[in-house]
């Protein structure tokens, strides 16, 4: 998506540890017009796949997942993060290792929000090593719903997540796919 790539080039900031900061337009302050277009693009890519719900993880996935859900006219669910597995009630949970924080956390979705009649599209802001999306895939599997695929704004193609998910047979669409990053330069595919 050229508009997103241009925005990353002009406003993205490179941090040590292969982290791209996009907090001025994507996941802290959000460029509403850009986000609406991102939602429309995700809806276009998954048109005709029968998506009934969009699923993400709080917090940084929520805006993009909501934009996609609004464009597709389906509900958006965000999995909630918990530090421990000590969660009560009828829920689906999975463990996720955080790339940016270097810690493990649990994600949870109330069981009555997803069921076998649903077709789910997983959405997130970034795809790096794929831990976040794999956790959500597990939740979809537990619910018995069908997985349409995943859509991310930015895929760091030099990390293994995208390849691993695709080799599991999961459709993965990224709107901006980064080939390599240094302290000074981002190269897109």
Binding site for ligand 5GP (CB under 6 A): 19-22, 60-61, 99-100, 124-132, 161
By beta-carbon proximity to ligand 5GP, the closer residue of 89 and 102 is 102
By beta-carbon proximity to ligand 5GP, the closer residue of 43 and 122 is 122
What contacts 135, CB < 8 A, 6 or more positions away? 57, 79, 94, 95, 96, 107
Nearest distance in Å: CB 124, ligand 5GP: 5
Nearest distance in Å: CB 152, ligand 5GP: 8
Total Cβ atoms within 10 A of residue 71: 20
By beta-carbon proximity to ligand 5GP, the closer residue of 69 and 130 is 130
Nearest distance in Å: CB 158, ligand 5GP: 11
* Residue 5 near residue 157 (C-beta atoms within 8 A): no
- φ and ψ at residue 15, rounded to 5 degrees: -115, 160
By beta-carbon proximity to ligand 5GP, the closer residue of 82 and 111 is 82
By beta-carbon proximity to ligand 5GP, the closer residue of 43 and 165 is 165
Nearest distance in Å: CB 110, ligand 5GP: 21
- φ and ψ at residue 98, rounded to 5 degrees: -85, 125
Nearest distance in Å: CB 125, ligand 5GP: 6
By beta-carbon proximity to ligand 5GP, the closer residue of 25 and 126 is 126
Where is 167: in which H helix or E strand?
A: helix 161-167
74, burial (CB in 10 Å: exposed 0-12, middle 13-18, buried 19+): middle
What contacts 10, CB < 8 A, 6 or more positions away? none
* Residue of 141, 91, 146 lying closest to 121 (CA atoms): 146
Nearest distance in Å: CB 28, ligand 5GP: 9
């Amino acid at each position: 998506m050229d508009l997103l790539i241009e925005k990353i080039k002009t406003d993205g900031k490179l941090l040590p540890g292969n982290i791209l900061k996009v907090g001025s337009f994507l996941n802290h302050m959000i460029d509403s017009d850009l986000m609406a277009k991102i939602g429309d693009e995700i809806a276009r890519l998954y048109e005709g796949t029968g998506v009934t719900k969009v699923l993400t993880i709080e917090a940084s996935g929520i805006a993009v997942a909501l934009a996609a859900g609004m464009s597709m006219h389906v509900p958006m669910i965000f999995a909630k993060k918990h530090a421990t597995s000590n969660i009560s009630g009828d829920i689906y949970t999975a463990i996720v290792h955080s790339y940016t924080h270097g810690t493990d956390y649990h994600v949870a979705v109330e069981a009555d929000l997803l069921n076998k009649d649903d077709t789910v599209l997983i959405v997130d802001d970034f795809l790096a090593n794929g831990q976040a999306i794999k956790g959500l895939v597990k939740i979809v599997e537990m619910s018995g719903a069908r997985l349409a695929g995943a859509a991310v704004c930015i895929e760091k193609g030099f990390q293994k997540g995208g390849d691993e998910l695709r080799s599991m047979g999961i459709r993965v669409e990224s709107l901006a796919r980064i080939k390599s990053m240094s302290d000074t330069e981002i190269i897109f595919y």
